[in-house]
Every structure is written in C-alpha cells, then in structure tokens.
Amino acid sequence: MEFFATCPAGFERLLASEMTALKLSHVRPLQGQVAFEGSLEEAYRACMWSHLASRVVVVIQRIDARTSDVLYEGVRHVAWNDHFKPYTSFAVDATGVNARLNNTHFTSLRTKDAIADSLTAHGPSHIEADPAHPDVRVVTRVSGNRATIGIDLSGGPLFQRTYARRSRDVGLRADYASAVLALGQWPKLCGTSAPSLVALAHYPDPLVIEAALMAAHCAPGLLRKHWGFTKWAGHDETSWKAVLEDAESKRISSPEAEFAVRSLEHGASRAKNTLRALGIDAVVRPYTVYSEDEQPQGTTLLCADLSDLRSHEMVREAAWLRSLAQTAQQSQPSHIAVSARNDLPEVYLRNAHAEQMTSMLGRDPLRIMRFDHPDLSERMPVVSLTPQKEITVLVSASDQFAARLKKVAKLRGRWARREDVSCYRLYDSDLPDYAVSIDLYQGTDPYTGELNGRRWLQIYEYAAPKDVDEALARGRLMDVLALAPEILDVKPEDTFLRVRKRDKGGSQYASEARGTRASAPRKDGKIPLPEGAHLIDEGGLTFEVNFQSRLDCGIFLDHRDTRAMLREMAKQTKGSKRFLNLFAYTGTATCYAADGGMRYTTTVDLSRPSLDWARRNMARNGFTQRDHEFVQADVIAWINEQRHTKNRWDLIFCDVPTFSNSNRMSKRSFDVQRDHAELLIGVSRLLIRGGVCVFSCNLRNFKPDTATLAKAGVSIEDITPRTIPEDFKRNPRIHHTYLVRRA
C-alpha cells in the first residue's frame, strides 16, 4: 500500500529521518510531504509515533485532473463502497492547484459531488456529507495535471495534542517544538545515559513536554482519543491493537532525562504539572547556574524558542538573546537548537550554525538552527553600570554610549526637576554611531494628577545609512535596548521601540491609532483609559499617551514651549476668544488654549481616532462645554469652505505634517514645501483683524516662500529659536515655527 505523511514546508528531511527510524519502507521526502510504502500496520505506526507529521494518508487512486470534469469522472469511478460503511459521514479536503483547478474549495466540492453520485448509482447508501465532524475524511491533492485521492487516517492534525489545551495553546505548536528537538538531536541524546535539556522560552511547555515524551518513549498517539480510520471500511482492528499494545509496553513513567526551564512565567511548575497529568513523572525545575559538583553528568541540549519575538518587540528580543548567550556559557551544552525569525542567535552565540532549516510560522519565515559544541570561551563584552551590575553587550564601544547616557540623564534630571518637567528627551544621537533618540515619560495618577512613579521609555531608531554594516547597526541597537532601561531605571516591558526614517516619506499621521477608543464616560464623570494608554502631566494639564498604537505616542515633546506660548497668547487675546487648531492630532494645543482662557475652540483633523483622543484630553482637563467643537475633515478643503463663511478666529495653531497622501483627502497629496504658501494664504483669511497664526512644520530644510506670501498680503516671522526646548537644543532643526499674520 502507498501512504504519505504531510508536514510544514521545510520539515520534509526531518520527517523522512523520523519515518526511517520507525522502520518504514521506501521513505521518500517530497514537497510538503513524505511518501512511504508498506502494510496498514506500518501506517498505524506512523500515526502513533510521529512527532512531526501533520496527517497520514493512505493512497486510494491517482487520477487525471486536467479539468474539473475530468477530475469528477475519475473520482466517480473509484469503488467508494469499499471505503464507506453504511450510515457514515464524510468530508473532502483539497490541496494544490493547476491551471484549470485553481480554487481548492471548488475542487473539494467537485470531489464531494462525484463521491455522492458514485454511491447513489449503486442504490441507497445512507452516507452523507458532514464537513464539520465527518466519520471519514477524503483527501484530494492536486499536483500538475494529476490528483492523488486518499483517506486521512489521522482524523485531524496530529500536532493537536491534548496537553495543548491544558497549557492554553501558548508557545510553539507541538510539531514545531519537535522539529527544534529533532534538529538538536534530542532523540539521539535520549539513547544516552541521563541526558539533560535546558529550555529557554517565554512559554517552554511544548519544548519540555515533547522532549519528555521522547525521553519516556511515550508515543504522541497515546494522547489522542479520536482517529480517522476507526469508521473507515478498510480499517484493520487487529493491526491497530498490535501497534497500540506495542506503544503502551514501551512507555515508561519516570525517564532518566532532566529538564531545566528558564521562562517568562512559572514555566517549570506548569510543565511539570502537565506531564504529571499525562502520567510522566519527570525532573523539571527552574534553571539555575550549576556549581562545579552539580554539573549534569550526561550530555546537555540547550533549546531556545525565540519565535514569538517580532521586530517591533526588540526590547524583549534583546533581553532573551542575552539570556540565550549567558545560559549557553553557564550550562556548557553539547548542542544548541534555536528557533528564531532572524539570524541574531548566530551573532550572540558567536558561532556559525552547524545545520539549519527554514519553514514558515504563519506568514513569517522561521529559522531553526543547531550549533554543535559552540566555543564560548571568548567572553562577550560587558558594561559595568555599578560595581555590582554588569550588562553583556554585543559591541565593545557600547560602554561609551552607556557613559554618555548616564551623564546626560543626571544633568537632564536636574534641569527637569528645576523646571517641573516630567516628560523630556534624554538623548538624541549624541554619539553618531548610536543613532537613536530616547524620551522619558513619567506617569500621572488618573484621579489625583500626582506623579505615580511609573516610567516609560520611547526609543526611536533612525534608519542607518546604506554604507553602515547592518549587523553592526543592529548590534548597537540591541545594546541600547539592553542598557537604557537599566541606566534609567525603567522596566524592560515599559520600553518601546519605533523606527523613524530621515525623509519626508510619511506623515506623522500615517498610521491610525488602533484600540485607542475608550468607553463612554462613567456616571462619576471620570474618563476611562483605553487599553495600553497612560496619563502624563505637562504644564499642569493631563494628557493621554499610548506607546503601542502608532508611531507617535500622542504628544510631541519638542512643542512643549510652543504650547506654553499658545497659552500665554490666549491669555492676552481680547474679544471673542476663539481658537482654531488645524491638523490637531490629539488636541494638546487645544487644551493649552482653553486653559489660557479661549472660550470657543475648534479642533480639526482628518483622523477620527485622533479626534476621539482629543475629546478625551479636553474632558480630562475639564473642558467639556459645547463651545469646544471637533471636526473630522480634510483640513485643506475645510479651510477653503470656511473662507466663504463668516467664521473667523483670533488665534490659530497649524502644525502641518511633512507629507500626507491619505485617500480621504480632496487632493492627491500634501507636501509642506510645495503647498505651504497656498495653505497659509487660506489660513490668513480665517483670522480676525489683528489675529495671528502659529505655524509649525518639522521638515528640516523647510524654506518659506516669502515672495508668494507677501504678494498675497501675508507676513511671516520666524520664531523657531524661541520654541526649541532645552532638551531639544542639540537638534535645533527638530521643527520650524513662524508667526503668520494678514498684512
């Protein structure tokens, strides 16, 4: 009989080795599957023992599949009465496409119709389709102009272990965890005396449990309650009982292997409890550094799962990669097996991998690497922060960054306390090689308004020039992410990284805030915080920040002095006291203007989430009157509309994006250098006599078109030096600010 076992792409060679170890015949690795031949008992053995296979399928027939009609005829002529018992249900799974069969759902429907028509042609069969819970599952695999028709013996993915539900389906999927172990040669180590496994992962359960199953010779199939062959007419109960009895006889309850766990939570106790529920009494403990007389006697495999770390979580990635290198130095393993989404483990282990395979985890590529006998005698560079604390780094020059950050933090902290500033910039590419900016935010209690001791870091990485070695730049960044939280006394989980490009290719409003909508105000009038949001204080006002939802956290610190200036201008404004905030973002300037006595404010932005955010900022500061309006509109088009009305304002703030190309704009795009003259002419027409507009942009080389503006009767005065805060004076081109009046 012919069979094939399916698997994730990249697993074929490992699965073929596993099938060979199970003494199956004619094993051939193919794309996404491994074919083998033999008796039905051998197929049952594959179902019972395979850690890597997704399904095991018995081949019924190979047919022509050039078109759907040809496929239909081929399937209809299969002797289906030989495979279905009376009163059973079936479903069809289709994979693969060709030029005429390019929709797997359609292929499965045609196969189902052909089976139903074939059975009906032989009289009442009492067999019906049941896509959700079939007794028998038919498989159609299209490849080129041929299709393989088979019966799925598994009855569902083999990697769906019962223990996964107990551990809440966290960590690697069981077959991926088994692939890490297989590449790390753990099955071979289980044949040696007292092997040990060190598992490093946020959620190590799958690694530890799969390794324990291998060490205890416990077949994964013993954990399953349902099989796809039990109601298949071709099932051989005698052969299955023989395989089942053999598996039960080989299982041992107390394997010699020892397991040490280094994880985010209580990984050791949770994995041990899960194994105990499975009937395996294994030695599972938290990982600690061995003393010389406690070193494991057997061979050690270090397994690390870093697959749940993505590029935007590089703070966690830096910490765990350092843990990997340190654990490797301490445990001195014979082999190291790592699953990761990039090649950084090679950098941290300072050793070329002995073997690797590449697969896909969701939509992302996953690399599984093995390092044999890594030479870790050369100690990685360290930075001494205090006599008692050392931080392992990748780049030896990172001690200069640490020294610079410590010095600046001390000086800037004194300035901030003197000026009563709680959120400020600490570092901005002070060392050109470490091209990042670091902002410190301190939290405010949502009810008292006092500082609550919570601190966050927002780190922006400037894209490195093309002539800088990518690995070196990444190493420096990882060192920044490791050093900055320690130096500034901020928890790693409260440190956030964003990448900012040095060009005009995006707007400050490029990414809409997600998950920032809060529920309605409570009966006591307090404004609930959206998920992931925090409160800070600036100038005696309370503002909401969110470090997870978009590129900018909700407040531009470089405009601190500009906002204070707007408040003073508002206090000096006479008459109607009307304020307009264009491109308002989260409405922080509106709050300052209202605090300065502006009775009527209009806040305009194209982004609905930003306007909701602005409403919450205003409400938290007590500005809830109907005289404060919020307008969702394309600002350029809205200005042109307002010019034809009687609406005019005493004070306008216009902080424009450098570039914007939202499909909701009336024009195709907005470029501040190209379009600012037209914008400011329109804005000037919205001012009352004697009114003023504070105009700002952050294009570094911005130059106002004074000639065009003067011709239109608009005066513009550069006040940039007055608006650059102390903590931004290293970068005086962080923004440009002007006073715009109608001459």
Encode pLDDT of 669-684 as tens digits.
889 999 999 999 999 9
d(CA 516, CA 610): 9
Higher per-residue pLDDT: 142 or 123: 142
Give me the CATH topology for the region 384-500.
Transcription Regulator spoIIAA (3.30.750)
Q: What percent of the chain has pLDDT over 70?
A: 90
Please state the rounded mean pLDDT for residues 318-331. 76
pLDDT confidence of 666, banded at 50, 70, 90? Answer: low
3-state secondary structure of 510: coil
| Lowest-pLDDT choice from 27-36, 57-66, 363-372 | 363-372
Residue 238, Cβ neighbours under 10 Å: how many? Answer: 8
**pLDDT tens profile 240-260:** 999 999 999 999 999 989 998
pLDDT at 511: 40
d(CA 691, CA 651): 6
Contacts of 387 (CB under 8 A, 6+ apart): none
d(CA 732, CA 726): 10
Residue 323's identity, in one-letter code, is: S
pLDDT at 512: 40
Please state the rounded mean pLDDT for residues 329-355. 81
3-state secondary structure of 322: helix
pLDDT confidence of 265, banded at 50, 70, 90? Answer: low
- Looking at the chain, the domain(s) classified CATH 3.40.50.150 span 163-217+252-372, 549-742
CATH for 549-742, among 2.60.40.1260, 3.40.50.150, 3.40.50.1000, 3.40.50.720?
3.40.50.150
Q: Tell me if 306 sits within 8 A of 368, measured CB to CB.
A: no
d(CA 183, CA 14): 7
Q: Which CATH superfamily is domain 163-217+252-372 in?
A: Vaccinia Virus protein VP39 (3.40.50.150)
pLDDT confidence of 43, banded at 50, 70, 90? Answer: very high
Kindly tell me if the per-residue pLDDT of 685 is higher than 60: yes
Residue 414, Cβ neighbours under 10 Å: how many? Answer: 10
d(CA 217, CA 194): 14
In DSSP notation, 49-87 reads H-SS-SEEEEEEEEEE-SSHHHHHHHHHTS-GGGTB-TT
**pLDDT tens profile 478-535:** 899 989 999 999 988 899 988 765 443 333 433 443 434 444 455 445 787 888 899 9
Return the closest-CA partner of residue 604 out of 580, 626, 627: 580
For domain 2-152, the CATH class is: alpha beta
Unique residue bearing structure tokens 């010699």: 256
pLDDT at 724: 97
Please give the sequence-ordered ranges of beta strands (E in DSSP) within 345-494, or none if there are none.
Answer: 355-361, 364-372, 382-386, 389-392, 424-428, 436-444, 451-462
Please state the rounded mean pLDDT for residues 301-327. 74
- Looking at the chain, the domain(s) classified CATH 3.30.2130.30 span 2-152
